[in-house]
Chain A
């Protein structure tokens, strides 16, 4: 940025310069990536329009597998959304010092992932223009939602989660937006005035007085405190979409904790996958260091072990139940037509993350990045395996069947990744991608400061 740095710059001023300086002025690689993402998104939009125009027959979902790639994507993206609020809220309450540099990006990821997930019920509906039938309001059609249905719980859970995550993220941004505004005050030019106005409006007139801070910190603490049970409830409710049905392979009490652990697992993996290129592109290597990846890898390992335990416990319970249908469903899941996805799921989610037991691997950013990519793949397949194998192999052999995604479903799946990344890229260049305030708090409290890799930790 144009402000000349004084010779002896204070640590706080350096934080402002580094983080705000990473905004705007994108280089050619950024522009090309945006164009590529728009192209993928455009193709997916075409596929969706084709599906709407031609009918749901263009998707591979049919009897008996009526939930396929779309619902897989829905559950996958809701899962991705879980790490943001976990890192922000739960680790805030636990006073974990390492969350400070990744919480902003993780929260942004949460919001964009919910925005992605929210598209899939609409795409899955087929006649998408009837989606307003879901809303509970008295109407002439005499329709009223059944509040006993897990699907309507899910509607409430996801919309609450989206709203609270958005407000939590935004309230975290307020002092940082004021920092951007104040930095623009020092610059000349018309663009600086426009930016000053925009960021000033977004910061709602924040000026950092003690009484403002006091109310702000209280509000933030309460938001964190209520977001904690919320984050645990949301994926529990998503899991009940399955567990409340009597389908073998779904109807299990382990589903809520199993899905919550899986969601945190996949969310942390996505934070790692995105933050590695992001810290490099924005030149923020001093802010997200080995210390942060070490801690994220530990969380990844813990949740991987929980997920691995849940896989085993499902088999054990199927065997212990003595129910031949339940057992057949699980046997077929491992060795039947979908043994490939099952194999990918177990390898990526249970075996590969075991590498994180080694400290040297946890502290190698490249290794953690590669592991996180495998986990992302594995978690997508986990959703697929749970949803599709259970439906394909229910009670009566006459009603068994197989499912294969069509090009429409695959295009829309690819489009969902483009949609998510596009939002994330726009975020990284317009808003402070690391919490300026929290980095300063870490420095002032001596917890951690930029560039510190905390070898001894």
Chain B
């Protein structure tokens, strides 16, 4: 496992990229990172990485918001009892509106926070392989594999008409 070899290949369009990624994954190269200006569902499937954990943040945030919204309204009504219009202190139908808004608020904020945590953002340090063209019109594959397999992987990458292929550290 010493000194694994990294290679970067750039492509002009996402379809060659999808093909290249699929082939190197079939060759047994598991450590693949893709850079690009857009992402497609097909590419996500080909990469075969686990589902994003952001879903759990959104769910937990939503539940927290719901509980907080109901708690704020019900608790405060009992804490400071003022009967308004002869209605019960815990007027659930009226409080549902506030609980609903808080559910949405917390779910949205926590989905965003989850995204930031798992994307390691915010940061000022960009990936060493970052290139300004990756946000313009270039896609790149960074494949890390055993030195023994490097020649084979490089050949596969070259077969999808890349812009360039280079060995990285």
Residues of A within 8 A of B (CB): 10-13, 16, 136, 144, 146-148, 152-153, 156-157, 160, 163-164, 167-168, 171, 175, 178-179, 181-183, 185-186, 200-201, 204-219, 222-223, 226-227, 229-230, 233, 237, 436-437, 440-441, 444-445
Known contacts A204-B123, A205-B124, A218-B52: A186-B108 contact under CB 8 Å: no
What 0/1 readout, one digit per residue, does chain B (99-124) give for beta carbons within 8 Å of chain A? 01110110111011011101111111
A-contacting 9-mer, from B28-36, B143-151, B152-160: B28-36
Judging by beta carbons under 8 Å apart, are B47 and A210 in contact?
A: yes
Determine how close the nearest CB of chain B comes to the CB of A397; give it in whole angstroms.
27
Q: How far is the CA of A211 from the CA of B54 in the complex (A)?
A: 12
Contacting residues, chain B, for A144 (C-beta < 8 A): 76, 80, 82
Take A144-B76, A207-B35, A218-B55 as given contacts and tell me if A163 and B108 are in contact as well, using a CB distance cutoff of 8 Å.
Answer: yes
List CB contacts (< 8 Å) of B33-69 with chain A: 33-40, 43-44, 47, 49, 51-55, 58, 62
Q: Which residues on the B side are within 8 Å of A230 (C-beta)?
A: 101, 104
State the CA gap A179–B137 with chains docked (Å): 10
A237→B98 CA distance, assembly (Å): 10
What would 13 more interface pairs be, CB under 8 Å, given A16-B136, A205-B120, A222-B58? A10-B12, A156-B102, A157-B97, A171-B115, A183-B136, A200-B124, A207-B126, A208-B36, A208-B39, A210-B49, A218-B51, A237-B97, A444-B13
Q: Which residues of A contact B100 (CB under 8 A)?
A: 229, 233
A196 to B, closest residue via Cβ? B132
CB of A147 within 8 A of CB of B73, answer: yes
Please give, as numbers and ranges, the residues of chain A lying within 8 Å of B49 by CB-CB distance: 210-211, 214
Residues of the A chain whose Cβ atoms lie less than 8 Å from the Cβ of B114: 215, 219
Q: A148-B94, A437-B38, A444-B38 are in contact. Are A204 and B101 (CB under 8 A)?
A: no
Residue from A11, A136, A167 within 8 A of B112 (CB atoms): A167
Query: Given contacts A10-B12, A13-B137, A182-B132, is CB(A156)–CB(B97) below 8 Å?
Result: yes
A153 proximity list for chain B (CB < 8 A): 94, 97-98, 101
Distance A212 CA – B130 CA, assembled complex (angstroms)? 13
Cα distance A144–B82 in the bound complex, in angstroms: 10
Closest to A233 in B: B100
Q: Which residues of A contact B16 (CB under 8 A)?
A: none
A206, B121: Cβ atoms closer than 8 Å: yes
Query: Which residue of chain A lies nearest to B87 when distances are taken between CB atoms in the complex?
Result: A148
Q: Is the CB of A163 within 8 A of B37?
A: no
Is A205 a contact of B123 with CB atoms below 8 Å?
Answer: yes
Q: How far is the CB of A263 from chain B (nearest CB, A)?
A: 17
- Residues of A contacting B: mostly: helix
Question: What is the bound-complex CA distance between A437 and B82, given in angstroms?
Answer: 53
Residue with the greatest number of chain A CB neighbours at <10 A, chosen from B35, B37, B127: B37
Q: Which residues of B sit under 8 angstroms from A148, Cβ to Cβ?
A: 84-85, 87, 91, 94-95
CB-contact partner of B77 in A147, A178, A204, under 8 A: A147
Name the B residues within 8 Å of A10 (CB-CB). Answer: 12, 137
Is residue B14 contacting chain A, with contact meaning CB distance below 8 A? yes
Task: Give Cα distance in the complex from A445 to B15, angstroms.
Answer: 10
Query: Are B108 and A167 in contact (CB-based, < 8 A)?
Result: yes
Q: From A12, A16, A146, A163, name the one whose CB has the most chain B CB atoms within 10 angstroms.
A: A12
Chain A residues, CB < 8 A from B13: 444
> A223 contacts B108, CB within 8 Å?
yes
Residues of B within 8 A of A237 (CB): 97
Nearest CB of chain A from residue B98's CB, rounded to whole Å: 5
- Report how far A16 CA is from B107 CA in the complex, Å: 33
A11 CA / B149 CA spacing, docked (Å): 35
User: In the complex the two chains form, is B124's CB within 8 Å of A12's CB?
Assistant: no
Contact present for A209 and B54 (CB under 8 Å)? no
In the complex formed, the residue of A with least CB distance to B141 is A210
B81 CB to nearest chain A CB (Å):
10
Q: Which residue of A lies closest to B88 (CB)?
A: A148
User: With the chains together, A147 CA to B137 CA distance in Å?
Assistant: 52
Bound form: Cα–Cα A216–B36 in Å? 13
Chain B residue with Cβ nearest A165: B108
Q: Closest residue to A10 on the B side, CB-wise?
A: B137
A218 to B134: give the CA distance in the assembly, Å: 21
A185 to B127, CA, bound (A): 15
Chain B residues with Cβ below 8 Å from A441 are: 38, 40
A406 to B12, CA, bound (A): 62
| CB-CB nearest 5 A-B residue pairs | A12-B137, A182-B132, A213-B39, A205-B123, A219-B115
Of all chain A residues, which has the CB nearest B13?
A444
A205 touches B102 (CB 8 A): no
Q: Can you spell out 22 A-B residue pairs with CB atoms less than 8 angstroms apart? A: A12-B137, A144-B76, A147-B94, A147-B98, A148-B91, A153-B101, A157-B97, A164-B105, A201-B124, A207-B127, A208-B134, A211-B119, A215-B118, A218-B55, A219-B115, A223-B108, A227-B104, A436-B37, A437-B38, A440-B38, A444-B14, A444-B38
B116 CB → nearest A CB, Å: 7
B124 to chain A: closest residue by CB: A205
B91 to chain A, nearest CB (A): 5
Q: Which residues of B contact A222 (CB under 8 A)?
A: 54-55, 58, 107-108, 111
A209-B34 contact, Cβ under 8 Å, with A223-B112, A226-B58:
yes
Distance of A136 Cα from B38 Cα, bound (Å): 44
